Amino acid sequence: MSAMALSASSPAVPTAAVAEDAKPPEGTPGIGPADRERRERNLLKVAVLVLIGAYELCFGRFFPNINGNLGHDYAYVLPDLLAGDYWFRANGPFAVPWFTPAFCGGRPYYADPQSMYYSLAQWLSFVMDPLTAVHASLLLFAVAGLAGMYRLARDLCGASREAALLAGAVFMFNGFYAVRMIVGHYTFHSLMLVPLLAWLLTCSSAPRISAPASSARDTWYGLLAALVLAYMLNSGLGSLMVVGLLAALGLVAVVGLQATQALSPRRVAARLTVAIAGALVVSAAHLVASLSLLGNFPRSDYLLPGFADLWSALGILLKALFLAPGDIAELAAAQLLNVQWVLGRHEFEYGVTLLPLLALLFLAYQRLRGGPARIGALAARPSARLWGAFLLLVLAVPLAFNVYDRDWNVLLKQLPLIGSSSTFVRWFFIYIPVLALVMAPAIDALPLGSRRRVAAGAGMVLLALNLSHDFSAYHAEPYPVRHIREGYAELTRSGQVPPVKALGEYRARNGEPLSPVFRNDALTHGVSQLLCYYPTFGYGLEHLPVRDMKIGNVDELLGGTHFNLKNPACYVFPAANQCTPGDHFLSAQRESALRFAAYRDWPFQVSAAQQLAEAVSVAGLVLLPLGILVPWLGRRRGN
């Protein structure tokens, strides 16, 4: 969508919002407006390329790290992506990967809320190895975050190019995204689309479509926002969908405070309604299947940790956002209550450096002094108080969720989806895009004149330096990538999908079961790991119904009645298939069992609710693109 491209075209704001130093100097020979615009565009392109290069230097070195390994949670991600490759090779692009035999003796795949089959990395892995696909996805979503934040600051807040680019750089280099990708939390990657989502909810013009009525424009942008939300839902974001939506709404509130023209809450609400409705329609099949699976395997038994009081939570938050992580994990551990799982350093990586904090302090100083006309006039706008109150509400949510109180904790555990969480620290992400966006007015308010470009450049250099010096600890991440690369190379060479022939596990010489970090890699040898890494069954597989599943061939009959292979349809639709979660394929289901073991589609029953959801999703997949393309095609035909 070219409207979101990181171009240097002028924002859709009144001429008065453009800084004086952006005008060409009078009387300068040979430099007209067109030449100056061309030069600005070229400088912007160079700056973006430099930022991408700096990003690769900072974080690309962990794919793999100096020891040839990846982050620990890639032990879940890369085998899952390879299993997706196997499914694609066996069934083609249109078959839904409901289940996979690769792990746990057979488990759900599409129904998993963290399923990555419909993510960018998965589809890139159809043409490149999974490691390269994840590395490429890292850079592409970092650039998407940069572009989205740039356009949001430029188009909606009337920021100068330099200020908008620095805001985009702060968001691009945020520690949460970079470190989560390093350690293997790939399902969080779509959070970098938050600025794009906020832009779609707030932008005021649609230059490529014939939609003169504001309601038509709102519907069109709402449908585009629905695509963003649908991608988040279907690429594995899971319970952090709420975080992504709240972060986008926080940005909307900042735009409402900073925009050069008043932002209508009614129009934002209209677009948001269209976006949520459209995303739910397109994602209905995945959502109903996921809820069915979670209904059979709830994780509400995990404790929810929280800080002893608000000031403790706030102190850890400020350190995580503005200081190097260092010993923050140890400090937090001493202040957390109701802890079941130890939170590592990566759980407190949110760094945006001191730049946004300095920006906030400067804006506060300007406001106290009366400041520039634009800053001083914000409170006089009729909708300013509404947007300000809404922003405070959004920003209060992560802190409120991270303070422990026994009665409050009981209430949180009863909430659907949220109650299955094991920590709310990740909700601190909401502050990152908000802080990045407030950088823009702070830079433009500085009394720098024509030196603003130098200041913005210095800020970006400081940003890159501050975020590149303290990540050496992640070179110790342990997951060896060689098994998956070898498996993918063999798949590419032979074109043959290795069927699962046996269930197995790693054992010590004394027979003690082992769980090495690479245990899921056994799929490359046609073995389904019994002690697999699959969080839906619990971090310790405490919810996995093992029954009489054992090491041995999958076609072995156990008790003369069933095969040594789980029927995964029983995990999701037990009533429709007349079974219970954890049942095996019966002896009469030999053909289905063998097809499943070979990653082939096989017949099973779904619930009536799932049938309806699939029909709704199919309709949405047809109607949503039409709703976006028809106005655009109408404009082209009119031209």
- The predicted model scores a pTM of 0.90
**Looking at per-residue confidence, does 465 or 543 come out higher?**
543
Q: How confident is the model at residue 630 (pLDDT cuts 50, 70, 90)?
A: confident
Question: Is 245 a residue whose pLDDT tops 70?
Answer: yes
Q: What DSSP letter does each residue of 340-406 carry, written as one string?
A: -S---GGGG-----SHHHHHHHHHHHHHHT--SHHHHTGGGSTTHHHHHHHHHHHHHHHHHHTB--H
What is the pLDDT, as a whole number, of residue 567?
Answer: 97
How far apart CA 281 and CA 621 sit, in angstroms, is 8
What is the pLDDT, as a whole number, of residue 632?
Answer: 66
Strands 557-558 and 336-337 come out as unpaired
As a whole number, mean pLDDT of residues 40-63 equals 90
pLDDT in tens, 574-603: 999 999 999 999 999 999 999 999 999 999
Q: How confident is the model at residue 633 (pLDDT cuts 50, 70, 90)?
A: low
How far apart CA 157 and CA 203 sit, in angstroms, is 10
Question: Is 47 a residue whose pLDDT tops 50?
Answer: yes
> Which is nearest to 518 in space by CA: 551, 486, 479, 484?
479
Helix (H) or strand (E) holding 331: helix 328-335
Q: Give me the half-sphere count of Cα atoms (radius 13 Å) on the Cβ side of residue 66.
A: 6
> Which is nearest to 421 in space by CA: 240, 248, 283, 244?
240
Written as six digits, the tokens of 619 are 């309709």
pLDDT in tens, 94-148: 999 999 999 999 999 999 999 999 999 999 999 999 999 999 999 999 999 999 9
Residues 171, 145 contacting (CB under 8 angstroms): yes
**Looking at per-residue confidence, does 619 or 362 come out higher?**
619
**What is the percentage of the chain residues whose pLDDT exceeds 70?**
87
On average, the pLDDT of the chain sits at 87
How far apart CA 244 and CA 241 sit, in angstroms, is 5
What is the pLDDT, as a whole number, of residue 466?
Answer: 64
Q: How confident is the model at residue 620 (pLDDT cuts 50, 70, 90)?
A: very high
User: Which residue is listed with tokens 């209905």?
Assistant: 284
Question: Is 38 a residue whose pLDDT tops 70?
Answer: yes
Q: How confident is the model at residue 435 (pLDDT cuts 50, 70, 90)?
A: very high
How far apart CA 84 and CA 92 sit, in angstroms, is 11
How far apart CA 150 and CA 238 sit, in angstroms, is 27
How far apart CA 388 and CA 8 sit, in angstroms, is 30
Strands 513-514 and 527-529 come out as unpaired
**Looking at per-residue confidence, does 382 or 418 come out higher?**
418
Written as six digits, the tokens of 261 are 């023209």
As a whole number, mean pLDDT of residues 217-243 equals 93
How far apart CA 394 and CA 535 sit, in angstroms, is 29
Q: How confident is the model at residue 205 (pLDDT cuts 50, 70, 90)?
A: low
Residues 6+ apart with CB under 8 A from 5: 147
What is the pLDDT, as a whole number, of residue 375?
Answer: 46
How far apart CA 127 and CA 203 sit, in angstroms, is 36
As a whole number, mean pLDDT of residues 331-357 equals 87
Residues 355, 168 contacting (CB under 8 angstroms): no
The amino acid at residue 14 is P
Residues 6+ apart with CB under 8 A from 393: none
As a whole number, mean pLDDT of residues 369-378 equals 52
Question: Is 211 a residue whose pLDDT tops 60?
Answer: no
Rounded to whole angstroms, what are the CA distances from 623 to 223, 456, 616, 619, 620? 10, 44, 10, 6, 5
Q: Is 540 exposed, middle or buried (0-12, 13-18, 19+ CB in 10 A)?
A: exposed
Range in 31-40, 68-77, 491-500 the model is least confident about: 31-40
SS3 483: helix
Q: What DSSP letter does each residue of 225-279 carry, written as one string?
A: HHHHHHHHHHTT-GGGHHHHHHHHHHHHHHHHHH-SSPPPHHHHHHHHHHHHHHH
Backbone phi, then psi, for 411, in 5-degree steps?
-65, -45
> Which is nearest to 92 in space by CA: 497, 455, 461?
497
**Looking at per-residue confidence, does 173 or 422 come out higher?**
173
How far apart CA 516 and CA 60 sit, in angstroms, is 25
pLDDT in tens, 521-574: 999 999 999 999 998 898 888 889 999 999 999 999 999 999 999 999 999 999
What is the pLDDT, as a whole number, of residue 418?
Answer: 77
Q: How confident is the model at residue 473 (pLDDT cuts 50, 70, 90)?
A: confident
Q: How confident is the model at residue 449 (pLDDT cuts 50, 70, 90)?
A: low
How far apart CA 198 and CA 192 sit, in angstroms, is 11
